[in-house]
Structure 1
Amino acid sequence: MVEYIKESYNELRNHVSWPSWAEAQKLTVVVAAFSVILALAVWGVDTVFSRVISLYFDWIKS
């Protein structure tokens, strides 16, 4: 387990190309924006389906 952690640290330290601070900030904003858009889309679909199901059950009760 210790060897695995050492090798992982070495890999991250020496072989991974990290973005600059400015690029990381821009990418964070992009991810946050898409997360909000996706959350709103899921909320919209959930609201529509909830109303459709509610109307369906009201219809079959009558």
Structure 2
Amino acid sequence: MRASSGAYRDVANRCSEYLSVPKNSVSNCSDFDKKSCVTCRHFNTNNSFCKIDSYDNIVRNTTT
């Protein structure tokens, strides 16, 4: 599920399961202060997907 940074921010802002990662555990994220899937504990950065499958549900519900 690779998406644009804007899409990741939009989804994270709509996600009730969003849990931010501790700031010191993210070394390569320049937009850490912004709520985004990539700054969520449920996001697998190696494979770019949501571990709890919230991303697809949120996208599907916002486009209908």
**Superposed pair shares fold, TM > 0.5:** no
More strand by share: 2
Q: Give TM-score scaled by structure 2 length.
A: 0.23
Q: Give TM-score scaled by structure 1 length.
A: 0.24
More helix by share: 1
